[in-house]
Amino acid sequence: MINYIWGFLMLASLIVATVNGKLEIVVTAAMTGASEGIGILITLLGITCLWTGIMKIAKSSGIIDLVSIIIRPIIKLLFPRLPKNSPATDAIIMNIVANMLGMSNAATPLGIKAMRELEKINSNNYRIASHEMCLFVILNTSCLQIIPSTLISLRKAYHSSHPFSVIILSWICSICSIVVGIISAKIFGTLEEKKFNSPKYKRLQGFKI
């Protein structure tokens, strides 16, 4: 779907530029954007390599284990139905730690692993996402970043005079989104669970009661 949207936007821009006699400007902007994209890619690659190395050092030195010990009780509180010593718990913790350090690219494989583990214990028979899966998506999306390295890198790449000035604002926005997201997930998850377990719903879906 995204490919169709981008294709439509590019085609529309070419048609409009041709009609208005500004095709040359569009072509120049496309070439300039491609060149800038390569520069930004190299910048992000460098910062990703840096934080991946720091993550390795933190893991070897035991810092990750210390952070995991602090986060684990919170995860148990948010995900009370996860089995004890579940691989999903460890994957969720590592994903949150990576996101907190601003390593969004490194956090993606951990997020995929966590979703796979949550899918294995999905009580909805793989037909719909479980409450735990939805809540994890919210945490992964709105996770607090202590150092928003990707955003800082982009601001530096575009010659911002104060690239680090967004850190406190990022904390405030992340905390607000986390609180609202968790409350919403808990409320709607409870309502959906009651609906899913109701005899009327099961009869409509063909379950045996």
Q: Residues with Cβ < 8 Å from 111, sequence gap 6 or more?
A: 91, 95, 136, 140
> Which pTM value belongs to this model?
0.63
Q: Residues with Cβ < 8 Å from 7, sequence gap 6 or more?
A: none
Name the pLDDT band for 23 (thresholds 50, 70, 90): confident
- Cα separation of 198 and 192, whole Å? 10
- Cα separation of 150 and 51, whole Å? 10
Report residue 35 as tokens.
Answer: 């060149």
Listed in sequence order, the DSSP H helices in the chain are 2-19, 23-61, 63-78, 87-100, 104-120, 131-141, 149-157, 167-197, 199-205
Q: What is the mean pLDDT of residues 174-180?
A: 89
| Encoded amino acid at 104, one letter | S
Closest Cα to residue 163, out of 38, 48, 43, 57? 43
More confident residue, 17 or 104: 17
31-40 pLDDT per residue, tens:
887 777 787 7
More confident residue, 52 or 26: 26
Residue 209: the pLDDT is: 40
* Average pLDDT, rounded, for the chain: 78
141-153 pLDDT per residue, tens:
888 777 777 777 7
DSSP string, 64-94: HHHHHHHHHHHHHHH-TTSPTT-HHHHHHHH
- Cα separation of 72 and 90, whole Å? 9
DSSP class of residue 126 equals T
Q: Where exactly are the structural domains of the chain?
A: 62-205
Determine contact, residues 99/145, Cβ cutoff 8 Å: yes
